[in-house]
Chain A
């Protein structure tokens, strides 16, 4: 089954992500774990996609493959025209640096560094000049409303503030793709909503393609424009949220 997230099936030139028969198997002793087992899907640029499924359905594995953190066992994953399976380790690192921004359930800020230093790290890796870094960090922090916390360490921040810092860090190198792995999983519902609003804003105002892994269907329905369901490493169903406005596109979006 091939899922295409987006309105126009025929215009493939604006595809952000395309996977073809993507597989990722792990050997665990005797057993072969098929974390991702032949997934083919397409995500249009500027789309907001939610990957839904139970624990162990392979949604995080799929996200890691798209993020270039992992390599497929077979099949291909093409992001912004580049087949990640063929990139060298060095090229893959550069891809993660420039093309992808990631946020995680556990925030993944470096605890020994201040908010500023955490934001500065991807800029250092991208070899951005020292003078420009401060401006870029401040801009990113302004966007998530955390300018006042610039000299604080992650442990001095609330969960929501930490995730906002992580969002600012994900934006800092102006990537085309935002990948979020259960971004609200460690937050209360109020703070979760706040974070989701930021993600939606980035999607709408910055035109970033967003792929979000979640197991909360309600959250996906209120923010994502497309939902992809996975079970046992396979695509089960792909559909837009069942809101009245989008009923029309649902027929065209899924096949």
Chain B
């Protein structure tokens, strides 16, 4: 029989006992829906985690320090590579070289200092850090009130929530729920006066760079007025732990202030040679998977590095296991459904014994009969798969909707925790069809083996 005829006969046979076959098909679709649902949940959660990680900047960041900086993040590695005294200094040319490495998005110096700020004539002490302009996509600014810096050199600041509370004198003790919006209403557009120590080289020193002995630099106390443009809820600087800043300036602006850095004193000899060195350079990598290679390349240059790359590896493994388990649970329902297919088709053989006998007497070959039963199983599989995907998708939409209503009540931004990629749609329908065909193979071969004389005698 031609394929088209087989399919047409299969559909018309299925329509003959609509109720039973549609119940079987519903069984398949429930199985597929649960499989799609479980996997979509796993995929959605993984995407959510990936996006969070990517935006947090934790996992695509490499922190570079000079070996000269003896207070390192990972001391045990100091044994390898050049000794601190012979290692290169982390200056502008090194930064440019690092930025030129493959898969590096940007490398910027970490400007960070403790200083005094005056707000409405009251002094406050905190750590200030420069933020690169690219940080505006950082996840930490998701729930921010106000806006990001208007330009990379604007005299503007973004406050961390806890510092904003401090400025307004609102201690967050008994009431945990002070909203950033409330803080921002009182602070946005207001001015802060920052007092800092500027390091300036004197003209006479500069003339003789080859003879650093006897050179010096002067430190001048300065004041800078800053405009508050944003208050952020989360902590964009969490990687720094104790050293984390609560007030952020545009990085370029901060660099131009030439604030005296703590390392300047320690590294006096280098500073005096006229070369500006950085304590730390932060390197942003295109994707977490390149972190290791970038780290290796920077180490080869003679610097120390630090990243949290291993954490992502564990996280991915966790999601692979989660997906596996969700998939197994989803497949269980499909396995039950496939037993339904076997049952339906075996019953159909008993019911249609005579029909099979007639077909064989008329000249149907084993292949024809087998193909017909196979096609019936396949048609149920395709329909069941398609309905199941639609069902799973709908359930997912409903759960997304419910989850987002809950998140909104908790003052969190909406999230897509349920994600159905196109390959899951195609894969689920194909999987349903394959499972159906496997389930149909036993009934089909049993029908094909039927002895026509026995079948025709059967009344």
- Enumerate chain A interface residues (CB-CB to B < 8 A): 64, 67, 69-70, 89-90, 93-98, 100, 102, 104, 106, 108-110, 112, 117, 121-122, 124-127, 169, 173
Residues of chain A lying within 8 A (CB to CB) of residue B5: 124, 127
| CB-CB nearest 7 A-B residue pairs | A97-B363, A93-B365, A96-B363, A124-B5, A112-B16, A122-B362, A108-B358
Q: How far is the CB of A180 from the nearest CB of chain B, in Å?
A: 13
Known: A70-B453, A104-B456, A124-B1. A90 touches B366 (CB 8 A): yes
Pairs A–B under 8 Å by Cβ, sample size 13: A89-B365, A90-B366, A93-B360, A96-B360, A98-B363, A102-B362, A110-B358, A124-B1, A124-B2, A124-B5, A124-B9, A125-B368, A169-B362
Q: B1-33 toward A: CB 8 Å interface, digit per residue (1/0)? A: 110010001001100100000000000000000
Q: B295-335 toward A: CB 8 Å interface, digit per residue (1/0)? A: 00000000000000000000000000000000000000000
Q: How far is the CB of B454 from the nearest CB of chain A, in Å?
A: 10
Q: B338-355 toward A: CB 8 Å interface, digit per residue (1/0)? A: 000000000000000011
Q: Is the CB of A93 within 8 A of B361?
A: no
Beta-carbon contacts under 8 Å, B357-380 to A: 357-368
Q: Whose C-beta in chain B lies nearest to the C-beta of A91?
A: B365
Tell whether B216 is near chain A: CB-to-CB under 8 Å: no
Q: Which of B354, B366, B453, B459 contacts A64 (CB 8 A)?
A: B453
Tell whether B452 is near chain A: CB-to-CB under 8 Å: yes
Q: Is the CB of B362 within 8 A of A94?
A: no
* B361, B367, B452, B453 pick with most chain A CB within 10 angstroms: B361
**A110 to B366, alpha carbons, bound, how many Å?**
18
**A97 to B365, alpha carbons, bound, how many Å?**
9
Residues of chain B lying within 8 A (CB to CB) of residue A69: 360-361, 452-453
Residues of chain A lying within 8 A (CB to CB) of residue B453: 64, 69-70
Residues of chain B lying within 8 A (CB to CB) of residue A96: 360-363
Residues of chain A lying within 8 A (CB to CB) of residue B9: 124
**Binding site secondary structure of chain B:** helix
Q: Is the CB of B367 within 8 A of A125?
A: no
Q: Is the CB of A93 within 8 A of B358?
A: no
Q: Is the CB of B363 within 8 A of A126?
A: yes
Q: Is the CB of A125 within 8 A of B362?
A: yes
Q: How far is the CB of A58 from the nearest CB of chain B, in Å?
A: 13
Residues of chain A lying within 8 A (CB to CB) of residue B12: 117
Q: B447-458 toward A: CB 8 Å interface, digit per residue (1/0)? A: 000001100100
**A96 to B456, alpha carbons, bound, how many Å?**
15
Q: Is the CB of A94 within 8 A of B363?
A: yes
Known: A90-B365, A90-B367, A127-B2. A121 touches B452 (CB 8 A): no
Residues of chain B lying within 8 A (CB to CB) of residue A64: 453
**A97 to B5, alpha carbons, bound, how many Å?**
16
Q: B416-459 toward A: CB 8 Å interface, digit per residue (1/0)? A: 00000000000000000000000000000000000011001001
Q: How far is the CB of B361 from the nearest CB of chain A, in Å?
A: 6
Residues of chain B lying within 8 A (CB to CB) of residue A67: 361
Q: How far is the CB of A239 from the nearest CB of chain B, in Å?
A: 29
Q: Whose C-beta in chain A lies nearest to the C-beta of B358?
A: A108
- Enumerate chain B interface residues (CB-CB to A < 8 A): 1-2, 5, 9, 12-13, 16, 354-355, 357-368, 452-453, 456, 459
**A127 to B360, alpha carbons, bound, how many Å?**
15
Q: Which of A110, A112, A117, A122 contacts B363 (CB 8 A)?
A: A122
**A188 to B359, alpha carbons, bound, how many Å?**
27
Q: Is the CB of B364 within 8 A of A93?
A: yes
Residues of chain A lying within 8 A (CB to CB) of residue B362: 96-97, 102, 121-122, 125, 169
Q: Is the CB of A127 within 8 A of B1?
A: yes
Residues of chain A lying within 8 A (CB to CB) of residue B365: 89-90, 93-94, 125
**A94 to B365, alpha carbons, bound, how many Å?**
7
Residues of chain A lying within 8 A (CB to CB) of residue B357: 108
Q: Which of A108, A124, A126 contacts B361 (CB 8 A)?
A: A108
Residues of chain A lying within 8 A (CB to CB) of residue B456: 104, 108
**A199 to B407, alpha carbons, bound, how many Å?**
81
Q: How far is the CB of A111 from the nearest CB of chain B, in Å?
A: 8
Q: Is the CB of B364 within 8 A of A125?
A: yes
**A173 to B357, alpha carbons, bound, how many Å?**
18
**A89 to B16, alpha carbons, bound, how many Å?**
29
Q: Is the CB of B355 within 8 A of A93?
A: no
Q: How far is the CB of A185 from the nearest CB of chain B, in Å?
A: 14
Q: How far is the CB of B368 from the nearest CB of chain A, in Å?
A: 6
Residues of chain B lying within 8 A (CB to CB) of residue A126: 363
Q: How far is the CB of B16 from the nearest CB of chain A, in Å?
A: 5
Q: Is the CB of A93 within 8 A of B363?
A: yes
**A173 to B363, alpha carbons, bound, how many Å?**
10
Residues of chain A lying within 8 A (CB to CB) of residue B1: 124-125, 127
Q: How far is the CB of B92 from the nearest CB of chain A, in Å?
A: 80
Q: How far is the CB of A183 from the nearest CB of chain B, in Å?
A: 14
Q: Is the CB of B361 within 8 A of A102?
A: yes
Q: Whose C-beta in chain B lies nearest to the C-beta of A70?
A: B453
Residues of chain A lying within 8 A (CB to CB) of residue B367: 90
Q: Is the CB of B366 within 8 A of A89?
A: yes
Q: How far is the CB of B357 from the nearest CB of chain A, in Å?
A: 8
Q: How far is the CB of B21 from the nearest CB of chain A, in Å?
A: 13
Q: Is the CB of A125 within 8 A of B366?
A: no
Q: Is the CB of A110 within 8 A of B2?
A: no
Residues of chain B lying within 8 A (CB to CB) of residue A110: 355, 358-359
**A255 to B270, alpha carbons, bound, how many Å?**
130
**A67 to B359, alpha carbons, bound, how many Å?**
14
* A93, A98, A106 pick with most chain B CB within 10 angstroms: A93
Q: How far is the CB of A49 from the nearest CB of chain B, in Å?
A: 20
Residues of chain A lying within 8 A (CB to CB) of residue B355: 110, 112
Q: How far is the CB of A145 from the nearest CB of chain B, in Å?
A: 22
Residues of chain B lying within 8 A (CB to CB) of residue A121: 359, 362
**A104 to B354, alpha carbons, bound, how many Å?**
13
Q: How far is the CB of A242 from the nearest CB of chain B, in Å?
A: 33
Q: Whose C-beta in chain B lies nearest to the C-beta of A133?
A: B5
Residues of chain B lying within 8 A (CB to CB) of residue A97: 362-364
Residues of chain B lying within 8 A (CB to CB) of residue A169: 362
**A145 to B362, alpha carbons, bound, how many Å?**
22
Q: Whose C-beta in chain B lies nearest to the C-beta of A169?
A: B362
Residues of chain A lying within 8 A (CB to CB) of residue B361: 67, 69, 96, 102, 108
Q: How far is the CB of A252 from the nearest CB of chain B, in Å?
A: 35
Q: Is the CB of B363 within 8 A of A125?
A: yes
* A89, A100, A109, A173 pick with most chain B CB within 10 angstroms: A89
Q: Whose C-beta in chain A lies nearest to the C-beta of B363?
A: A97
